[in-house]
Chains A and B, each alone.
Chain A
């Protein structure tokens, strides 16, 4: 029986996760989900013990987002197929909306992603997550969980619905962000043009089997993209695929990997990963203390500067800053 309050040995757990033990990974995700103070301490220790080279420069963290109905889960399923053929191990974090009323959630993406897997081929690991409304955007557990998965798998994919807040969140925790648009929906283009949507690294028009509508959307996207550039200098490609027919998936997998290569060549991968931790901490602080709190802690820019230079466990860094703020506030 899982006796209440029994926490795993964080070091043994980290070692087992790094050795790709699936049960250990599942336990570690439960631990990272656990909000009790003693569990948080254990989780901090666990994260700090994970092999840092894996977290800093290895693997590939991919974010897939897009409007409902664009076929993200089917696309993920198709990509899983390609990655498996290439001998890559895959972990998925599938984020679904929560009910704002009850706090409950129906997480049904597994169903689509594993439609063809009759248990014989068990190499993909999927954890479904609810947004858990309180934060807006992606819940606080997603990023730490992606780290545990990164320690165990070659590819970690975070899938989430949405344009707007969630889409911005996902770009702050993935090496490569991929936006999936659906043919004949002008929304994504409008968002891009208006600058509401952060420019992703890769744009995908799914359902290319729909023909003319898909081609038209692709042309429009390409036209819009010409005027936009990733701040770091990456030229954003737009691809047409069909998750259902299985066309263009190999090319998409290549393109995703191409972006990772590009990050490595430009020495940007580990910088980006350090940035994720800073983003995560600053976001938590802002949620707790608001803009006022961030100002009191020296302002956003200062915080990013400090945080990207340090390399402590995210929970420890967060707690240190939080305690600092509370002490300061009590003193003044």
Chain B
């Protein structure tokens, strides 16, 4: 038996990913979380902030304060950290395309609080490459995006040495369907791309480069197959050590450590029997804590009811308490690595390392991560894995308790009728935020703003580090939208690759799939032309995996799918539906802005004479909202509990039939 050490290991940083409504409301939440024993902050920004729009931009409608806090300027940032001493805080910010800007605001607030740069501790996510693959909050094309990441790294390594300038994410890759091997390979390929760019930018001298490698951290996902996930973490440790040593010549083993934070898998949480998510979250947490050699540095856990809507403070407290029980009540932290010497674990780790190295090689053959993203290689691999996973769930080969097996349940006392079990963002919040933004713009010094923006544009063009100019903008009162607009003009905006041109098909379609294909075909014959559907995501939410899966599935059962992608205005959707002559519109909204967006889309559809076209909506939509949407004329609402895609496809055929005066099919296809 392994002797246990005398000294308990230090616990990891405990955070809760949070922020909503306004800077003021989020500040109150943060302060209350800190009194409960949380040891760091994890700031969730709303989608307009993440995609570089002010709260009053047309694309921001319905999105302000929904998935995070709106930060338009230094005033908002000061309110957010009111009475929170930044010199003592460890703050993680989930921010990517506008990371340099939000960091600039943070630094400016610290300066106003009188805190030295060297005292600041925290993390900016700042991994834009994964935004192109999943999550979708990119703004600029890869080249300038990598330059922004490089600038933040170079600046912080020299000015804010305790800052983690980039958190390379495999988290969202798993959400997009990545297998553990793919997660390893693509996250490490991204890290290599970023480090190469920093090296090639010449901003850091060769002898200081080990500091850069040492500051790279990762943000990882842990799924329910927790033994394999634990091995994945060990594989990460091995591979990173090797890359740091062989590729970047880092001699100091401390600088080669794989440092990572974790959020366990939110997308795998179920809406049906949501209390089961508690077990899932805990098991997933074990994956990243059991092995001391590969233990997470920071953990944030989702709340048990995330698949239902926004969690309340109590739900988040429960998640925090899970961490505290594991860290403080159990004996976990008393032991050295408990897997050392296990041949079973070693073999699994080896398998993952080898698989990941092969895939790393394939990325290299594609010309590196940027090329492999731009030519669609990585996206195809992810969508293929994701599709396989969805099919396995559909066929019951992959079991999810309460979803595709053991579905019988007592009514849950935790999920009451009405609005009790989730939090709602006050609909007045958006208006108030816009009013305060307008007031802020009025009182600032316009000449200073203009000069700071002009300077920013110069720096963006010249290639000089973007951070000092951004900090100047922050002090001058520049807004998030203005900062981003200047860079949009200099850098241009990213065009996504067509993306889901995957060729994988259900080679042996089940009888159900055959039946649905037949119905799609027959209905097309009856209506005179093939059935066409428009699938798209209105608003700023970039989580496109769900929409892509629906699109691929619908293609496989014989629909012609016009896939419109993300960040669509209601007008674009109506225009697309008209021009493409579709029979039905499928919308996906995960950001909670479904009510406003659907209302606007109905208005726009009526304007182009398509008031009668059936619309279906999928997303994280609370029960009462779903009811309201149906009353407003939405033909069907699908939430995470509707996991059987065949049923959805059969529904779609019937909805189209009914809206065209045909009788629906009598028997269930699925």
Interface of A toward B, CB cutoff 8 Å: 1-4, 22-23, 26-27, 29-30, 33-36, 39, 68-69, 73-74, 77, 98-99, 101-112, 114-119, 122, 125-128, 130, 132, 244
Distance A106 CA – B561 CA, assembled complex (angstroms): 5
Contact A23–B530 (Cβ < 8 Å): no
Contact A112–B580 (Cβ < 8 Å): no
Contact A107–B565 (Cβ < 8 Å): no
Other-chain residue from A22, A101, A110, A116 in contact with B576 (beta carbon distance below 8 A): A110
Contact A119–B575 (Cβ < 8 Å): yes
Give, as a whole number of angstroms, the nearest-CB distance from A181 to chain B.
16
Distance A73 CA – B498 CA, assembled complex (angstroms): 9
Q: A23-B609, A110-B564 are in contact. List 8 more A-B contacts (CB 8 A).
A: A2-B659, A26-B579, A29-B581, A104-B558, A107-B562, A108-B500, A112-B498, A115-B493
Does B224 count as interface, using CB distance less than 8 angstroms? no
Give, as a whole number of angstroms, the nearest-CB distance from B393 to chain A.
20
Inter-chain contacts of A127 with B (CB < 8 A): 579-581
Distance A3 CA – B528 CA, assembled complex (angstroms): 13
Distance A103 CA – B561 CA, assembled complex (angstroms): 11
Distance A107 CA – B497 CA, assembled complex (angstroms): 12
Contact B526–A4 (Cβ < 8 Å): yes
**Chain A CB within 10 Å — which of B528, B568, B660 has the most?**
B528
Inter-chain contacts of B501 with A (CB < 8 A): 68, 106, 108
Contact B579–A35 (Cβ < 8 Å): no
Does B223 count as interface, using CB distance less than 8 angstroms? no
Tell which of B330-338, B461-469, B549-557, B624-632 binds the partner: B549-557
Contact B560–A107 (Cβ < 8 Å): yes
Whether A69 touches B375, Cβ cut-off 8 Å, given contacts A110-B564, A111-B565, A130-B560, is: yes
Other-chain residue from A27, A36, A115, A125 in contact with B495 (beta carbon distance below 8 A): A115
Whether A107 touches B612, Cβ cut-off 8 Å, given contacts A101-B505, A102-B517, A102-B555, is: no
Does B572 count as interface, using CB distance less than 8 angstroms? yes
Contact A119–B552 (Cβ < 8 Å): no
Inter-chain contacts of B141 with A (CB < 8 A): 244
In chain B between 472 and 531, which residues have their CB closer than 8 angstroms to a CB of chain A? Answer: 493-501, 505, 509, 517, 520-521, 526-530
Contact B59–A4 (Cβ < 8 Å): no
Whether A33 touches B559, Cβ cut-off 8 Å, given contacts A22-B579, A108-B500, A118-B572, is: no
Does B661 count as interface, using CB distance less than 8 angstroms? yes
Name the CB-closest residue of B to A132.
B530
Contact A1–B560 (Cβ < 8 Å): no
Q: Which range contains the number of B residues in contact with the other chain?
A: 35 or more
Give, as a whole number of angstroms, the nearest-CB distance from B52 to chain A.
13
Other-chain residue from A35, A111, A117 in contact with B496 (beta carbon distance below 8 A): A111
Whether A108 touches B556, Cβ cut-off 8 Å, given contacts A1-B659, A26-B578, is: no
Name the CB-closest residue of B to A2.
B660
Contact B564–A111 (Cβ < 8 Å): yes
Give, as a whole number of angstroms, the nearest-CB distance from B382 to chain A.
16
Give, as a whole number of angstroms, the nearest-CB distance from A3 to chain B.
5
Contact A108–B560 (Cβ < 8 Å): no
Distance A27 CA – B526 CA, assembled complex (angstroms): 18
A-B residue pairs, 6 tightest by C-beta: A34-B528, A119-B571, A115-B495, A104-B555, A108-B498, A33-B529
Whether A117 touches B572, Cβ cut-off 8 Å, given contacts A2-B612, A77-B495, A106-B561, is: yes
Contact B558–A102 (Cβ < 8 Å): yes
Contact B578–A105 (Cβ < 8 Å): no
Give, as a whole number of angstroms, the nearest-CB distance from A78 to chain B.
10
Does B219 count as interface, using CB distance less than 8 angstroms? no
Inter-chain contacts of B400 with A (CB < 8 A): none
Other-chain residue from A3, A104, A108, A109 in contact with B661 (beta carbon distance below 8 A): A3
Does B291 count as interface, using CB distance less than 8 angstroms? no
28 A-B pairs whose Cβ atoms sit less than 8 Å apart in the complex = A1-B612, A2-B660, A3-B661, A22-B578, A22-B579, A27-B581, A30-B581, A33-B528, A34-B528, A35-B529, A98-B560, A101-B509, A102-B556, A103-B530, A103-B558, A106-B563, A108-B565, A111-B498, A111-B563, A111-B564, A111-B565, A112-B495, A112-B497, A114-B572, A119-B568, A125-B579, A128-B580, A132-B530
Inter-chain contacts of A104 with B (CB < 8 A): 520, 554-561
Other-chain residue from B375, B376, B555, B565 in contact with A99 (beta carbon distance below 8 A): B555
Contact A102–B557 (Cβ < 8 Å): yes
Inter-chain contacts of B558 with A (CB < 8 A): 99, 102-104
Whether A74 touches B555, Cβ cut-off 8 Å, given contacts A29-B581, A107-B562, is: no
Name the CB-closest residue of B to A28.
B581
